[in-house]
Amino acid sequence: MPHTPHILVVDDHQQIRDSVTRFLEKNGLRATAAKDAPDMDAKLATGQFDLMVLDVMMPGESGLSVCRRISAERDLPIIMLTALGEETDRIVGLEIGADDYLSKPFNPRELLARIKAVLRRAAQPDTITRGLAGKKVRFAHLVLDADRQVLIDEDGEETALTVADFRLLSVLVERPRLVLSREQLLDLSAGISAGPLDRKIDNQVSRLRRKIEPDILRPRIIKTIRNGGYSLCADVTDVE
């Protein structure tokens, strides 16, 4: 029996929660609603979800705080709902792990299309990272354990990678010292063409740099190439 994606809709406005869940269910998806962060946590503890639609402006813990926390805890795609014109919220949301965003008010059909697109991308990690399966590779002062999706430094300290971070780093370590454009990185790491979310790659690189660069203000491992893109400026070797 085919799997029916289960969507968690988190919004403090009851009318939006009810209308979105009804629309998604009418279009062949399962949908559960939560009114705030505590309600969301309770739903996550008792159910399995494939994607979360998350409002930025909520009482108590904000949507941005929730996005940061959930992205660090689990592999759950997130689409943020932001107020019209709140560009800062969109950029921050993408930087901390959101997969897409949509401005309010929105057309439910556009939300459905974005949900389906994010679910398609989320189903591709095996094809994107297959070349590193079973390997440990060394670059600069770090070792990447591909199967565990963690970075290990010279002191043995481990840093866990999100799925998005691991995909992007996999693309870079398989192509050391090559200059890859933003369009190439988006295509190779997410399996999509460049479009409205071109800035997403810049945000992901920034987030990844925080985990691997000794000096985030002077990156020397992932370098920005003017008019080019990004390059992993380190040799990569297999660890026996």
CA 237/CA 173 separation, integer angstroms:
9
Q: Are residues 135 and 103 in the same domain?
A: no
* Cα–Cα dist 81/52, whole Å: 11
Identify whether 196 is part of a domain. Answer: yes
pLDDT score at 196: 47
Of residues 40 and 1, more confidence is placed in 40
pLDDT digits (tens, 9 = 90+) for 2-38: 678 999 999 999 999 999 999 999 999 999 999 999 9
Provide the domain limits for residue 196.
127-238
pTM of the shown model:
0.60
The residue out of 77, 96, 123 marking a domain boundary is 123
- Which of 123, 155, 171 terminates a domain? The answer is 123
- For residue 137, the SS3 value is strand
Helices (H) and strands (E) in the chain, counts: 9, 12
**Number of CB atoms found within 10 A of residue 178's CB:** 12
pLDDT single digits (tens) 177-235: 999 988 888 777 765 544 444 566 787 888 899 999 999 899 999 999 988 899 999 99
**Considering all CA atoms of the chain, what is the largest pairwise distance in Å, rounded to the nearest integer?**
57
pLDDT in tens, 105-157: 889 999 999 999 888 877 665 555 566 778 899 999 999 998 888 999 999 99
**Distance (Å, whole) CA 228 – CA 198:** 14
* pLDDT higher than threshold 70 for residue 89: no
Q: Which residues of 208-240 are buried (b: 16+ CB within 10 A; e: fewer)?
A: bbeebeeeeeebebbbeeeeebbbbbbebeeee
Residue that is last in its domain, among 123, 140, 163: 123
